[in-house]
Structure 1
Amino acid sequence: MYKITIRLRIICLIGLLLSCDPEKQNENPPNIIIVFTDDMGYGDLSSYGHPNIKTTQLDKMADEGIRFTSFYAAASVCSPSRAALLTGRYPIRNVPNNFGPESKNGLPINEITIAQILKNEGYNTMAIGKWHLGHQPEYLPTARGFDLFYGLPYSNDMILPWCPWLTEDDKLFIYEDSNAVEEIGFDQENLTVNYTKKATEFINDHQDKPFFLYIAHSMPHLPISTSEEFIGKSKGGLYGDVIETIDWSMGEIFQTLKETGLDDNTIVIFTSDNGPWQNLPDRMLQQGVKETHAGSTGLLKGSKNTSYEGGFRVPAIIRWPKRIPEGIVSRELANTMDLFPTLIKLAGAEIPYDRVIDGRNIYNLLKGENVASSALFFYCRGVNLEAVRKGKWKLRHTKDKGFELYDLDIDPSEIYNLKESNQEIVKEMHKEMKRFSKETGAKLLPIKE
């Protein structure tokens, strides 16, 4: 009798522990909010070292959750990065290059987005802000798993004079769902504030069921602007004003979550699609755009549309009260594709099994467990495979620089090329690049004999 009682107690204890793990049950799936900024640099937040831009709300978010120091976007330009976030797959598999007003296609119809999976699981879904995965009806958010959409179909610079290949017929409109409702052109000052209003309205109106809210800010992509009440507030100039407006927006979202009683059951992710546009072309330097309107990579080398760290490594903060311990700083490698399987499992849904999912479930990492990553991370620019990271090592191979090998633990700025003294590591990592190239069709620079 005594042994039976002990066994029953053990069984009950195991059941209780499993019921506390959100990956083992789906009775109360979390609300999910992803905030995806545009061209925000690794060094643009005060919690990432910016001396003049104050981001108090995001700093508080980091204090109450986990902040990553080695978090990567899957591409260093817009459309590919967004495709990877929403599908959990390297963009070489689906969207290697950007779309624009002249594009007739978008994210391939056979791709499955996280919004589609969550919607099928009973979630209310909304996309706010920049889409940039096709603006034809069959590619818009409302055809890709989102119940609602409010925002721009592509980047805020995709009109004349910044894109000289376009015509006067290429106008920039705000969309509501699948309808273009208002031409905004150069009048972009209120985009961040309006996106924020739509976000808080959505939260207030969808308290009865779990929701997935994807907020893809148009800022700080050039041309930057912000509402009058934020002008001149930052010591970091206009760019600082824009970042601090986004920080204000995060405060409004958290306040709404608290007022609705949804805060404890909402996981919020904040990150960027790629690094800052420091290498902007001359065509952008008109209509008030200045070189100083780009962000900071901090101590990282490179910028947007490069395969150096400044193009791919981005700020990332994740908060989920009572689930993610407070004040964690993770130096382990993670990336935007990891959000796909992680969030799907937390929602109690199934990850698609009929295709390669490149992301991995990082929930244990979010909980603060010491999970060393053995995963590889590949850096593609368009269809070209230029680099790979494994642990502390990064191998880069390009036409202009040849082979470059960096120890990112001691040299995150990629200053010291260690290839000569580490030829075996070069060979091993280049073998991984060849394997990935063969698997995906990514183009690899041939080695000169």
Structure 2
Amino acid sequence: MKKSLTSLPHLTFILFAVVLIASCQSNKQDVVVGTKPNIIIIFADDMGYGDLSCYGHPIIKTPHIDQMAHEGIRLTSFYAAAPVCTPSRAALLTGRYPIRNLPNNIGPESKHGLPLTEVTIADVLKEQNYKTMAIGKWHLGYGKPELMPTGRGFDHFYGLPYSNDMILPWCPWLAPEHNKLELYQDNTPIREIGFNQDSLTIDYTTEAVEFIKSSKYDPFFLYFAHSMPHLPISTAESFRGKSKAGLYGDVVQTIDWSVGQIMKTLKEQNLDDNTLVIFTSDNGPWQNLPNRMLQRGVELWHGGSAGILRGSKATTYEGGFRVPGIVRWPGQIPENQVSDELATTMDLFSTLIEISGGTVPKGRDIDGQNILPFLKENGVSPRDQFIYLKGKKVEAVRDKNWKFRNTEDGGIELFELNMDPSEKYNRAEAYPELVEKYYKQMQDFAVKTNANIDRLYHTEDLK
């Protein structure tokens, strides 16, 4: 008995320690398993389908993005909704073809932006008590607080209001009052960037890491839209000369480093298992440069690669629209998957709303579809059609195999993409019934969206 009484303080200490450890473990578990998953979209600018090593680039090394692909699903028929910057971003954030809201690029001189009637994914996630932040390039409106990210559902913004080339001499139409490229914190310019863009990717990444750390006890949505590798490309001295692919390779590898920092932070903060991460690009590589861009160190070879795909940015061939698409969500999306099923950045809108427990906005046409079951099971995508828009004009349509294109420069073109992803072999003459079928689909879409469409070219060749 005496021995037991003597041991009582020790027993009390042990019990206290056990309770304390259990409490700490419980708090740690609360960080890991929240009621809603965290969401991160990493959106590269002008990165081509063939720029990553996991998509076949023989020189550029992207081990962190490759690891993402290994730990999730890599999509090989994933599409941006436009071949240029502004409309692609509008479509991603609203789940709607850009013909419905913002079909053309805008700049610092523009008085308009994404219409205030549009509902963004950030708006919906805020209603689900998500902390939201936009980092990097915005390019959906400028000059008025309601057009900036903090007026479109984001709690905070750190980045550039438009593209990194939108200053003189690259944009010769700009008036002196618009010739300024500034870094913003929320709605306040904090410093002029101008031509000094070497540290942009590092600065963005630092802010992203801090946002993740500060938001770890709440569900969060991070929209991380890199300014690179849009021209003019640049990176910090510590990354220069690392890639055999020259400066462009250095820039892409800097973005890969950034992805590595994000993934490292998620693991360190015990958020990895409860965070969905998506990596993609806004359109294909900028290969068809206008002469205005070839100054102040910009070279023709500073653009990326579309890999085996034909065309590039600003075209409706595959190289303009088909982009890398990687989705990682441990425990939800099986590892090491590759799928050629059709999906688009617009589909992320409906999918992320489903994941968050939100409701897709009513009273408007939503073109994005929920692809979560497909991603989880590597099954069949619900999407069976994609429309290729260039500005306000419908130029092409594809389904799960065939693509039809009707343009002034190319005439009528029909490609069997599964056999011919490089769009080398025009099969239109052999399949006039498919030409008629797909042109009718384009006409129907044009009527529904008030888009423009050219007459059917070269019909005499099918007789």
**Same structural fold, with TM-score higher than 0.5 when normalized by the shorter chain:** yes
Q: Which residue of 2 aligns with 1:345?
A: 354
Identity of aligned residues (%): 63
Distance 1:265 1:27, change over 3 A: closer
Amino acid at match of 2:173: W
CA RMSD of aligned residues (A): 1.1
Distance in 2, matches of 1:333 and 1:231, equals 36
- Taking structure 1 as the reference length, what is the TM-score of the superposition? 0.93
Q: Which residue of 1 aligns with 2:270?
A: 261
For residues 277-288 of structure 1, what are the structure 2 equivalents within 5 Å? 277-288=286-297
Distance in 2, matches of 1:144 and 1:178, equals 12
Residues 304 and 311, structure 1, Cα contact 8 Å, conserved in 2: yes
Q: Which residue of 2 aligns with 1:110?
A: 117
Q: What's the offset of the Cα at 1:167?
A: 2.9
Q: Which residue of 2 aligns with 1:306?
A: 315
Deviations 1:221-270 (A, max 9, x none): 00000011000001110000000000000000000000000000000000
Q: What's the offset of the Cα at 1:354?
A: 1.1
Q: Secondary structure at the match of 1:343?
A: helix
Query: Of residues 36, 40, 47 in structure 2, which corresponds to 1:40?
Result: 47
Q: Secondary structure at the match of 1:150?
A: strand
Q: Which residue of 1 aligns with 2:13?
A: none
Q: Which residue of 1 aligns with 2:304?
A: 295
For residues 331-370 of structure 1, what are the structure 2 equivalents within 5 Å? 331-370=340-379
Residues 224 and 239, structure 1, Cα contact 8 Å, conserved in 2: yes
Distance in 2, matches of 1:100 and 1:86, equals 18
For residues 320-335 of structure 1, what are the structure 2 equivalents within 5 Å? 320-335=329-344
Are 2:148 and 1:140 aligned?
yes
Query: Of residues 78, 97, 104 in structure 2, which corresponds to 1:97?
Result: 104
Are 2:312 and 1:316 aligned?
no
Amino acid at match of 2:98: P
Residues 160 and 167, structure 1, Cα contact 8 Å, conserved in 2: no
Are 2:170 and 1:153 aligned?
no
Distance in 1, matches of 2:364 and 2:307, equals 37
Amino acid at match of 1:288: G
Query: Of residues 179, 201, 206 in structure 1, which corresponds to 2:215?
Result: 206
Distance in 1, matches of 2:411 and 2:234, equals 39
Q: Secondary structure at the match of 2:426?
A: coil
Amino acid at match of 2:150: T
Q: What's the offset of the Cα at 1:27?
A: 6.6
Deviations 1:14-48 (A, max 9, x none): xxxxxxxxxxxx97111000000000000000000
Deviations 1:158-202 (A, max 9, x none): 000000001333200000001111101000000000000000000
Distance in 1, matches of 2:375 and 2:245, equals 32
Distance in 1, matches of 2:97 and 2:85, equals 13
Residues 51 and 306, structure 2, Cα contact 8 Å, conserved in 1: yes
Amino acid at match of 2:320: G
Q: Which residue of 2 aligns with 1:16?
A: none
Are 2:238 and 1:229 aligned?
yes
Which structure 2 residue ranges, 5 or more long, are not aligned? 1-32
Distance in 1, matches of 2:77 and 2:456, equals 29
Distance in 2, matches of 1:48 and 1:238, equals 19
Q: Which residue of 1 aligns with 2:441?
A: 432
Distance in 1, matches of 2:374 and 2:381, equals 9
Q: What's the offset of the Cα at 1:373?
A: 4.5
Q: What's the offset of the Cα at 1:374?
A: 5.2
Are 2:249 and 1:240 aligned?
yes
Distance in 2, matches of 1:27 and 1:65, equals 21
Distance 1:208 1:181, change over 3 A: same
Distance in 2, matches of 1:183 and 1:119, equals 31
Q: Secondary structure at the match of 1:199?
A: helix
Q: What's the offset of the Cα at 1:368?
A: 2.7
Q: Which 10-residue stretch deviates more, 420-429 or 263-272?
A: 420-429
Distance in 1, matches of 2:249 and 2:312, equals 18
Larger radius of gyration: 2
Q: Secondary structure at the match of 1:158?
A: coil
Q: Which residue of 2 aligns with 1:166?
A: 174
Distance 1:27 1:250, change over 3 A: closer
Distance in 2, matches of 1:420 and 1:146, equals 50
Q: What's the offset of the Cα at 1:369?
A: 3.4
Q: Which 10-residue stretch deviates more, 219-228 or 130-139?
A: 130-139
Q: Which residue of 2 aligns with 1:396?
A: 405
Q: Secondary structure at the match of 1:181?
A: strand
Are 2:383 and 1:371 aligned?
no
Q: What's the offset of the Cα at 1:422?
A: 0.7
- Taking structure 2 as the reference length, what is the TM-score of the superposition? 0.90
Deviations 1:80-100 (A, max 9, x none): 000000000000000000010
Residues 402 and 417, structure 2, Cα contact 8 Å, conserved in 1: yes
Q: What's the offset of the Cα at 1:120?
A: 1.1
Structure with a larger share of its residues in helix = 2
Amino acid at match of 1:160: L
Distance in 2, matches of 1:445 and 1:327, equals 42
Q: Secondary structure at the match of 2:112?
A: coil
Amino acid at match of 1:317: I
Are 2:74 and 1:62 aligned?
no
Distance in 2, matches of 1:312 and 1:405, equals 17
Q: Secondary structure at the match of 1:420?
A: helix
Q: What's the offset of the Cα at 1:208?
A: 1.3
Distance in 1, matches of 2:105 and 2:56, equals 30
Distance 1:249 1:372, change over 3 A: closer
Q: Which residue of 2 aligns with 1:19?
A: none
Q: Which residue of 2 aligns with 1:383?
A: 392
